[in-house]
A and B are shown apart, each in its own frame.
Chain A
Amino acid sequence: MDDTALWIVSLLASTVRLATPLVLASLAGFYSERAGVVDIGLEGKMLTGAFAAAATAAVTGSPWLGLAAAIAASLLLALVHGFACITHRGDQVVAGVAINTIAAGLTAVLANAWFDLGGRTPSLDGGQRFLGLHFPLAEAVRGVPLLGRFYGEVIGGQNLLVYLAVLAVPATSWVAYRTRFGLRLRAVGENPAAVDTAGISVPWLRYRAVLITGLLCGVAGAYLSIAQGAGFQENMTAGKGYLALAALILGKWRPYPTLAGCLLFAATDALQARLQGVALPVVGAVPVQIIEVLPYILTVLLLAGFVGKSIPPKAAGQAYVKDR
């Protein structure tokens, strides 16, 4: 019994840790895509953020400077995306692919050249990272069955960026549905011509959205390399940017359902790691790949309308060209 409880607590704690970068990145995607700019470049921005954070933290010793560098680097790529897609009306998907490719190459090249560790950055020690925060009374209530450990290890004990991600969800929902910026953001993703004729600048609106995307991707990247991890490795995002995009689709481009999607994906990931080689009742040992691919299969089924239907913002993917 106690074992099961421990197992569940550790599963939940790990789910929260794994969900954090997904939440940050999928909310990042939320801003861009609701503004009508498709962003498959979340992956690349995150990766660049991760590298910038780890490299800066390793050199300066400050996780805060690392975070700032991550955000700055990711914003730079967001500007490239905006420049190509908004200013020059380039293909949004192609721009995203370009950003992912450049990020994958550049981080590896720079890491290799600057630190000479085969594409990694030096391991960071505690002072260079965002560590878990110890909540008051966590030790005292540890003895309380289940809830004590739940309080100490799932609710508490996480690093600052986890709480930031948790806050980002209601904040995003509030911005999108309660503010002028949010109203315009949602409008420009559905019908940019309506926004334009209402006397609002479509490019400037979209640039702001894309910059918020860059900001959040930077935080997500920093989380990977200087909070959850202790340094940068080549391609350390390993498809999390795409998974975040899938969560956004699963959540039908709404903040809270997207959060649910992220938690679901994170839980399957956490479960998959724990079921490696474990024989389950009835079915026996299942290949972990079956659990691993669940998010991808779910996304495919959902997009195809076999389970529910996820419809993207109407103007997503199209550059806005004034006509007539």
Chain B
Amino acid sequence: MSASTNSDGLPRWATLALLPAINLGAALVVSSLVILAIGQDPLSALAFMVKGAVGRGTGLSYTLYYATSLIFTGLAVAIANHAGLFNIGGEGQAYVGGLGTGLVCLALSGWPWYAVLPVAVLAGALFGAVWGLVPGYLQAYRGSHIVITTIMFNFLASALMVYLLGGPLIEHGQMAPESREFAESTFLPAVKEIAASLGYRTSTLPLNLSLLLALLCAAGVWFLIWHTRWGFQMRTVGANEAAARYAGINARTTIVIAMAISGALAGLVGINELQGVQHRVTLNFQAGMGFTGIAVALMGRGHPVGIVLSSLLFGALYQGGAELSFEYNEISPRLVVVIQGVVILFSGALEHMFRPALVRLLKPRAPATAGQRA
């Protein structure tokens, strides 16, 4: 993931806007081909998706609700990436983080939500941080490859949660592997309630207060990465570890801290999913959000603003895709996963293909290069 190491002098606007647009365009072309292969009309499918995602209040609410989780996981991937680490473990960190949030919500039954929230945030962040910190520690001090270790930790998280929800945490007398419902007082206010208090009536919508938390995190990450010494140190470790050592930066602790923050951010998915919407700890509540965070971070070029925007895009894809599959039986909602994969391919693995071409295209023809190879 060497998104930042290119030294070709591509203008900033091209890096931040044009490249993602090209990548998105490529992803749309590929998914259109898939829709064609299924025998459907890509244009009307696309139009339907857009309408489903942003056309009505309900759709928009779902889009923003998905985007909330994606901001958390996208930031998690990005911050690790700035420190030179590929954290594939967002999925597991989100899962275990949700456990922390869930336990707090279960324990603090009588408390009002605004008293529960800070504790739940802390617990979610802490649990997620631990799940990220251990692979970070093993990478920094034992040389284990972070990619493999975080993959293994995803499986471990899954096994742990299956065990807990199938036994210790299961609701008495129920078969479904999930915890009992949290006390209603702990529920995060959803947009519905906020709207109602302002005099609007809406239907049940998943969008809740955690979107604000996500935006706050994005601002915090932006400040941390580009405006503090710790962020500078992380970026230095990520870009050139030898230079980091020269600069007196302890790469090992930096790696561990970056992974802890990364895990903590992913761990906040549970605030949105559990305290915000499901109101109980359920199996696989994170539902691929951790993996989608990779595409979000890559497309957002590791910048919080880009991540918020690409979270909105992927949130819309999730929601639009779901609507689409209601309308067209032939189109599975998993189409969004294909798009996600193509985005990862084009903006991540193939960035060296588009970039030089773009550099050549945008470079003003300087007289110095004109004489080359007459």
Task: Establish whether A and B are touching in the complex (CB under 8 Å).
Answer: yes
Chain A residues near B (Cβ < 8 Å):
40, 80, 83-85, 88-95, 97-106, 108-114, 116, 119, 234, 239, 242, 245-246, 249, 287, 289, 292-293, 296-297, 299-300, 303-306, 312
Contact residues in A for B160 (Cβ distance below 8 Å): 289
A293 and B155 contact, CB distance less than 8 A: yes
Is residue B47 within 8 Å, beta carbon to beta carbon, of the partner chain? no
Number of A-B contacts (CB under 8 A): 160
Cα of A104 to Cα of B287 in the assembled complex, Å: 13
B340 and A246 contact, CB distance less than 8 A: no
A94 and B329 contact, CB distance less than 8 A: no
Contact residues in B for A92 (Cβ distance below 8 Å): 349
Cα of A116 to Cα of B143 in the assembled complex, Å: 47
Contact residues in B for A303 (Cβ distance below 8 Å): 138, 142, 144-145, 148-149
Given contacts A239-B155, A289-B159, contact A112 B352 (CB under 8 A): no
Partner of B348, one of A90, A113, A249, A287: A90
Contact residues in A for B350 (Cβ distance below 8 Å): 83-84, 88, 90
Cα of A305 to Cα of B334 in the assembled complex, Å: 39
A108 and B145 contact, CB distance less than 8 A: no
Chain B 326-341: CB-based contact to A (< 8 A → 1; otherwise 0): 0001111011111111
Contact residues in B for A114 (Cβ distance below 8 Å): 38
Binds A, one of B173-181, B234-242, B266-274, B291-299: B291-299
Contact residues in B for A112 (Cβ distance below 8 Å): 330-332, 334
Given contacts A97-B294, A289-B159, contact A105 B340 (CB under 8 A): yes
Chain B's nearest CB lies how many Å from the CB of A180? 30
Cα of A303 to Cα of B348 in the assembled complex, Å: 26
Other 13 A-B pairs with CB < 8 A, given A91-B1, A246-B152: A90-B348, A95-B348, A98-B342, A98-B345, A102-B341, A105-B334, A116-B330, A242-B151, A249-B148, A289-B160, A297-B152, A303-B144, A312-B145
Residue among A108, A239, A296 with most chain B CB within 10 A: A296
B349 and A101 contact, CB distance less than 8 A: no
Contact residues in A for B138 (Cβ distance below 8 Å): 300, 303-304
Nearest-neighbor residue (CB-CB) of A293 within chain B: B159
A94 and B298 contact, CB distance less than 8 A: yes
Cα of A206 to Cα of B39 in the assembled complex, Å: 37
Interface size on B, residues (CB 8 A): 51
A88 and B352 contact, CB distance less than 8 A: yes
Cα of A202 to Cα of B11 in the assembled complex, Å: 33
Contact residues in A for B147 (Cβ distance below 8 Å): 40, 93
Is residue B28 within 8 Å, beta carbon to beta carbon, of the partner chain? no
Partner of A98, one of B153, B155, B348: B348
Partner of A102, one of B88, B345, B348: B345
Nearest-neighbor residue (CB-CB) of B330 within chain A: A113
A242 and B155 contact, CB distance less than 8 A: yes
Cα of A90 to Cα of B356 in the assembled complex, Å: 13
Is residue B37 within 8 Å, beta carbon to beta carbon, of the partner chain? yes
Cα of A307 to Cα of B353 in the assembled complex, Å: 41
Contact residues in A for B294 (Cβ distance below 8 Å): 94, 97
Partner of A289, one of B162, B334, B352: B162
Contact residues in B for A104 (Cβ distance below 8 Å): 334, 337, 341
Cα of A299 to Cα of B162 in the assembled complex, Å: 21
B159 and A110 contact, CB distance less than 8 A: no
Cα of A179 to Cα of B280 in the assembled complex, Å: 59
A105 and B337 contact, CB distance less than 8 A: yes
Is residue B163 within 8 Å, beta carbon to beta carbon, of the partner chain? yes
Is residue B220 within 8 Å, beta carbon to beta carbon, of the partner chain? no
Q: Can you pick out 8 interface pairs between chain A and chain B where the beta carbons lie within 8 Å of each other? A: A92-B349, A93-B86, A105-B337, A289-B162, A303-B145, A303-B149, A304-B138, A304-B143
Cα of A110 to Cα of B334 in the assembled complex, Å: 10
Chain B's nearest CB lies how many Å from the CB of A104? 6
B148 and A246 contact, CB distance less than 8 A: yes
B341 and A105 contact, CB distance less than 8 A: yes
